[in-house]
Amino acid sequence: MRYGMVIDLNRCIGCHACSIACKIENATPPGVFWSWVFQVEEGKYPDVRRSYIPRLCMQCEDPACIRVCSTKATYQDSQGLVRIDEQKCIGCKACILACPYGVRSVHEGGKYFPIDVPWGETEECHQGGTVSKCTFCSHLMGRGEEPACVSACPTTARHFGDLSDPESVVSQLIRDRFGFQFHPEFGLNPSVYYLPPKGSALGVVFYTLQSYRRKE
């Protein structure tokens, strides 16, 4: 069992529904975003394009953060997810400096509302002074639900499933549509895959092949 996510860069429109859905579901403190969409402008006028890159914890198979965690607060569970035990974290911030994907943040545990509003089932977990990051909504997985960012995506750019099962939707998408990992050269083997956009080299190969097949 190895949970993974596939994000179709062709379908992402940069609407941040995932960022907000994550914030609501996980009740993250102000200033903390476990899920985010980066907007990048590329090229020079008149040949300019804007790319949207949704980002979250890559749930690496061989995570850099675990190697520097001196408290064993960061650990890998049986489903291959990288988790943080907020009861154990001392907030030394070494993992933030070790993660090459920049998905971890330390927070002071502030709240949006001055009074205690019951909000989400994970809110009480956010201890001030500890490091936090995306959990793939592991509390939803037990109920058989998908992560909040996946079900909130209006363009179904995100897919979630078991990477170790070759017949799962995610495995098929990765196989059929040239799914790639974000900077695999870091050597951490992320569980988040991206499907190449049309403008990219891989995308050009895929869409040429696809139109060729249609003509047949």
**Which parts of this chain interact with another protein (CB under 8 A)?**
9, 38, 40, 42, 51, 53, 64, 66-73, 88-94, 96-102, 106, 127-131, 180, 182-183, 185, 194, 196, 199-203
Residues contacting 118, CB < 8 A, separation 6+: none
What's 133-174 look like in SS3?
CCCCCHHHHCCCCCCHHHHHCCCCCEEEEECCCCCCHHHHHH
The answer to whether the beta carbons of residues 195 and 178 sit under 8 Å apart is yes
Min dist. Cβ of residue 140 to another protein (A): 27
Which CB atom, from 20 or from 68, has the smaller least distance to another protein? 68
Min dist. Cβ of residue 42 to another protein (A): 8
Min dist. Cβ of residue 195 to another protein (A): 10
Question: Where is 38: in which H helix or E strand?
Answer: strand 36-44
Which CB atom, from 80 or from 196, has the smaller least distance to another protein? 196
What backbone torsions phi and psi does residue 133 show, to the nearest 5 degrees?
-165, 175
Which CB atom, from 72 or from 175, has the smaller least distance to another protein? 72
Residue at 172: amino acid letter: Q
Which CB atom, from 47 or from 185, has the smaller least distance to another protein? 185
Min dist. Cβ of residue 111 to another protein (A): 17
